[in-house]
Amino acid sequence: MPRTNKNYKEKDVQAALLAIKNGQMTKKAASKNYKIPRSTLQFRLSSKFIKTRPGPATVLTDEEEATIVEWLKVSQEKGFPKRKEDVIYAVREFLRQSNREHPFGSEAIPGKGWFRSFLKRYTTLTFRAVDPVSSASANVAVTDIFGWFDSIQDYLIKNHFFSILEDPSRVFNGDETNFLLCPKSKSVLAAKGSRNIYEVDRGQAKLNLTVMFSFNAMGSMCPPMIIYPYKRLKDDIRKTIPDTWGCGISENGWMTKQTFYEYISKVFYPFLTQEKIKLPTILFVDGHSTHLTL
**Domain shared by 45 and 73, yes or no:** no
Dihedral, CA of residue 266, residue 271, residue 273 and residue 279, to nearest 10: -100
What pLDDT score does 2 carry?
47
Residue 169 lies in a domain: yes
**Dihedral sign, Cα of residue 140, residue 145, residue 150, residue 156:** positive
Do the beta carbons of residue 38 and residue 27 sit within 8 Å?
A: yes
Q: How far is CA 130 from the centre of its chain?
A: 20
The CATH number given to whatever domain includes residue 19 is: 1.10.10
**Domain shared by 110 and 235, yes or no:** no
Predicted TM-score of the model (pTM): 0.57
Do the beta carbons of residue 248 and residue 228 sit within 8 Å?
A: yes
More confident residue, 144 or 220: 220
Range of the structural domain that residue 92 is part of: 56-129
**Domain shared by 32 and 73, yes or no:** no
**Domain shared by 178 and 289, yes or no:** yes
**Secondary structure, 3-state, 219-235:** CCEEEEEEEECCCCCCH
**Domain shared by 34 and 61, yes or no:** no
pLDDT band (50, 70, 90) for residue 224: very high
Residue 291 lies in a domain: yes
Residue 99 lies in a domain: yes
pLDDT band (50, 70, 90) for residue 55: very low
- Rounded to whole angstroms, what are the CA distances from 215 to 168, 220, 259, 263, 282? 10, 6, 19, 14, 11
Q: Which segments within the chain are labelled E, that is strand? A: 171-180, 208-216, 221-228, 246-249, 282-284
> In the predicted model, what is the mean pLDDT of residues 105-123?
86
Which of 26-35, 89-98, 125-134, 234-243 has the weakest average pLDDT? 125-134
Quote the CA–CA distance of 63 and 58 in Å, as a whole number: 12
What pLDDT score does 195 carry?
60
Residue 196 lies in a domain: no
Residue 27 lies in a domain: yes
**Domain shared by 216 and 271, yes or no:** yes
**Dihedral sign, Cα of residue 16, residue 19, residue 22, residue 27:** negative
Which of 78-82, 145-149, 158-162, 199-203 has the weakest average pLDDT? 199-203
Cis peptide leading into 280, omega within 30 of 0? yes
**Domain shared by 178 and 270, yes or no:** yes
Residue 150 lies in a domain: no
Which residues, 6+ apart, have CB-to-CB distance to 209 below 8 Å?
A: 178, 179, 181, 226, 227, 228, 229, 253
Which residues, 6+ apart, have CB-to-CB distance to 278 below 8 Å?
A: 167, 169, 170
Do the beta carbons of residue 242 and residue 226 sit within 8 Å?
A: no
**Domain shared by 287 and 173, yes or no:** yes
**Domain shared by 123 and 97, yes or no:** yes
Residues 68-88 pLDDT 10s = 888 888 887 776 788 888 888
Q: How much of the chain exceeds pLDDT 90, in percent?
A: 24
Q: CA nearest 226: which of 181, 275, 280, 276?
A: 181
Dihedral, CA of residue 60, residue 98, residue 256 and residue 86, to nearest 10: -10
* 282-284 sheet: strands from edge to edge: 246-249, 221-228, 208-216, 171-180, 282-284
Residues 13-44 pLDDT 10s = 888 888 888 888 898 988 888 889 988 888 88
What pLDDT score does 260 carry?
93
**Count of domains for the chain:** 3
**Domain shared by 177 and 280, yes or no:** yes
Rg value, the chain, Cα: 25
Residue 243 lies in a domain: yes
**Domain shared by 96 and 223, yes or no:** no
**Domain shared by 289 and 212, yes or no:** yes
What pLDDT score does 176 carry?
92
Quote the CA–CA distance of 283 and 74 in Å, as a whole number: 16
More confident residue, 217 or 51: 217
Q: CA nearest 51: which of 73, 31, 66?
A: 66
Residue 154 lies in a domain: no
More confident residue, 175 or 144: 175
Q: CA nearest 82: which of 283, 282, 256, 289?
A: 289
**Which of 86, 114, 129 marks a domain boundary?**
129
Which residues, 6+ apart, have CB-to-CB distance to 157 below 8 Å?
A: none
